[in-house]
Amino acid sequence: MSNRVAIVTGGSRGIGAAIAEALAKDGYDIAISYSSSSGAAEKVAEKIRGLGRKALTIKANGASVEGNREVIAETIIAFGRIDALVCNAGTYPYGPIDEMTVAQIENILNLNVRAVMVETMEAVKHMKDGGRIIYIGSAFGARAPFPGISLYAATKAALRGFAKGVARDLGSRGITANVIEPGPIHTDMNPEDGEGAALISSFVATGAYGTVDDIASMAAFLASPKASYITGAALPVDGGLEA
């Protein structure tokens, strides 16, 4: 798959960084977007270049339509093509619904849902037949096991429906669209020994957090030719949280 190009939004850390590196190992040149930490984004880019692939970092406001379009446009300017789109960027508000504000609702819809729709709409204009679209959802989109995650769960559930529709729209072109639904994953932002981790682990069949490599491995598979007959699916990588 040499000379293929993948975009990974929110690729400067955590799950996004792991996916970017996994795709680079499989022969993709990588464009990653980030919101604030240019240093972290450049570290990921250097790892990708160390694997012999090209890397581009793009600072973008994921809450704006213009920012989402900019990610696609800059990738085309730099690489001339898009073969895979991984929509990973998002936000996680926490709190009971009676304490949420309209501003919080608008913010999470913009980042977790509208951004994905705009990026998809713009990317497929340049994506060749046989392309891959991967959305990073959440096991909480299928199950809300504790209070305080109503807005987040709603946005991640929305990705399921969107992927099914996109799969139908683009199936004749051999472009697949799928959702990966992570359970609790150990990252700097969500450590397996952090506050609330014991409670969250109790809802997982394995009783443990997963790793970023668990998600990256699934993304690499879905981005490969081996996954050409999988589309419109929501695939849990969650240690059994949805079970």
Within 8 A by CB and 6+ apart from 59, the residues are 33, 34, 35, 36, 38, 41
Whether residue 152 lies in the annotated active site: yes
Angle at the Cα of 201 (from 195 to 202), degrees rounded to 5?
A: 115
- Look-up of token digits 């240093």: 39
Q: For residues 137 and 160, what is the distance between their CA atoms, to the nearest angstrom?
A: 8
Q: Indicate which residue of 94, 152, 209, 229 is catalytic.
A: 152
Residue 138 near residue 90, CB atoms below 8 Å = no
Beta bridge partners of 4: 28
How far, rounded to the nearest angstrom, does the alpha carbon of residue 102 sit from its chain's CA centroid? 25
The catalytic site residues sit at: 152
